[in-house]
Amino acid sequence: MPKPGVPARDAQDSPKKNLLLAALPPADYDHLLPQLEAFPLELGWAVYESGGEQSHLYFPTDSIVSLLYVMENGASAEIAVVGNEGAVGIALFMGGESTPSRAVVQSAGQAYRLKAKAAKAEFDRHGALQILLLRYTQALITQMAQTAVCNRHHTIEQQLCRWLLLSIDRLKSNKLTMTQDLIANMLGVRREGVTEAAGKLQAAGLIEYSRGKIAVLDRARLEQRACECYAVVKRESDRLLLTPPVTVPAAHEATA
Amino acid sequence: MSAVLRPTPRATGTRADLKAGAKAGAKAGARPTSPAVIENNLLAALPRKDYQGIAADLQTVVLVYGDILYEPGEVLKHVYFPNNALVSLLTVVDGHLALEVGLIGREGILGVPLILGSRISPVRALVQGGGAAMRMDAARFLHHFRLSPALQKESYRYTFALMAQISQTAGCNRFHLLEQRLARWLLMTQDRVKSAQFRMTHEFLGHMLGVRRVGVTKAARNLQECGLIRYARGDISILDRAGLEAASCRCYSIVRDMNEPSRTHNGGNHNGVNHNRVNHNGGNHNGGNHNDAFPGMSSPRQK
């Protein structure tokens, strides 16, 4: 959707592939578009580091970013994944100081970004973007809380199912490029645990796994095998983000 | 318990606090009124004018240990600004397994979904320390929220601190020993109730920490043997706070520092809590105790 004054972009590569941007009313979207910069996210790149400055707010389109809790010794565990349903850099507009988490690109792809100052200014306009970002924040909180309880109470296999489902939802494809080491890092477990769980899922015909590529073959059965955490996160996310189109200024009363 | 958790009497308050409280009292008439001193830090951080604008809609309520204020999926009817009450946010899975993902006391507000434009609580809110809180009708809160940029700012800032707490909890549960987590939890509780003594059963602690009762018993015994706490028939006394800080994981100090407003305008009262800024154990907590940190090492994982 190229606009005058903005470099034409491939239709495949529209900011509207991000659901938050897509949900903006046309006027808000047009206002924002010239400020959005297309920015490719490379696998493993740190969008922000623990305690570091956040220079931009990112809206992934077909990339996935993991928010990781980092220990002093470098061990990490994923606390949430962000894809085309969300934004990375919540601290920018929530007024929070630095956090002990880092954001790392888990699946390479495209994102659009807004400079920190512009993001803050947009947020403070009390328009549709603010409403959407706040709702997304609520969905993110739900995901974090569910991840915490899932880590505590569910088996690695269940967690792996949840993680695969959350990932492919954000990719619109059933294939992931991902090593077992990386998955182990995400889930905060030993590699052997991931190997064993992935082996079981493969033997059952739910996934196919080879040389760092995972294909989900049977989504329905993967959902059955996952713990309820996947469904809870999905439901809350859909409720907050897919219902009804944003109308301004009905702030804070817009959710169903 | 009420003897332990009764509101702390305060002899002094800032002029603004006193005036605001008096005005609120006058407006509220015979209803339970706002206290003369603003005990909740989020309310205390508001400029006087903003506080006065909302004070009439604040009602002092007493929250009772064990009360459930919201269940997951429930529409929020009120927000609560705890004074000395303490509320746990619990995520429940499989119908019965719970885990505390957040702990809200005088530093915050219960009702974050409203701030974010949702009316529905995704978690269970359980009163974990009985005591007083300021309650406001949800619709009135939204009304004031729209009118007061200061209330918005403080609410967003607190929401972000709560998110940090939730993510810290997720990581902490994954990597840290039960004993460290118990120490952290006791310290967070002490900070919020401002008392070194409170009541807590092993079973309740098990729910909070997401482990079985026997695990809690063992961890509490270890802390007791080190002389850090005394734990008898559900009564917990913190005997050695510095020692308990050293025994806890770093997550405690990280979340505490985020919750501590750097501003002190309007006499935000932090009296009573020893915010020891010394970076105890320099980040090298307990050496190899949890260096590679594995799930289930603190307690058997439950299916």
Question: Which chain B residues are closer than 8 Å to A71 by Cβ?
Answer: 171, 175, 293
User: Is A255 in contact with B118 (Cβ distance < 8 A)?
Assistant: yes
| Whether this model's pTM surpasses 0.90 | no
State the ipTM, two decimals.
Answer: 0.84
Please name each of the domains of chain A with its CATH number: 1-153 (2.60.120.10), 155-226 (1.10.10.10)
Q: B43-82 pLDDT, tens per residue? A: 999 999 999 999 999 999 999 988 999 999 899 999 999 9
Question: Which chain A residues are closer than 8 Å to B210 by Cβ?
Answer: 149, 152-153
β partners of residue A78: A68
Q: What is the mean pLDDT of residues B80-86?
A: 94
Is A167 in contact with B112 (CB distance < 8 Å)?
no
A20 touches chain B (CB under 8 A): no
User: Is B102 in contact with A140 (Cβ distance < 8 A)?
Assistant: no
Least confident of A1-10, A124-133, B208-217: A1-10
Q: A184-226 pLDDT, tens per residue? A: 888 888 889 999 999 999 999 999 988 888 999 999 999 999 9
Q: Copy the structure tokens of residue B73.
A: 């999926």
CB atoms within 10 A of CB A67: 26
Cβ partners under 8 Å of residue A33, min gap 6: A3, A6, A15
Q: Which of B118, B119, B155, B292 to mutate to test the interface with A (most CBs of A within 10 A)?
A: B118
| Chain A 23-52, residues with CB within 8 Å of chain B CB atoms | none
Measured between CA atoms, the residue of chain A closest to residue B175 is A188
Q: Copy the structure tokens of residue B97.
A: 């397994």
User: How far apart are the C-alpha atoms of B168 and B252, rounded to whole Å?
Assistant: 9
A184 touches chain B (CB under 8 A): no
Which residue in the set B116, B250, B258 is minimally distant from A138, CB to CB? B116
Is B89 in contact with A145 (CB distance < 8 Å)?
yes
Q: What is the mean pLDDT of residues A121-141?
A: 93
Angle at A71 between CA A70 and CA A76, to 5 degrees: 50
Which residue in the set A71, A95, A255 is minimally distant from B156, CB to CB? A95
Q: What is the mean pLDDT of residues B97-114?
A: 91
pLDDT at A251: 42
Least confident of A34-38, B99-103, B129-133: B99-103
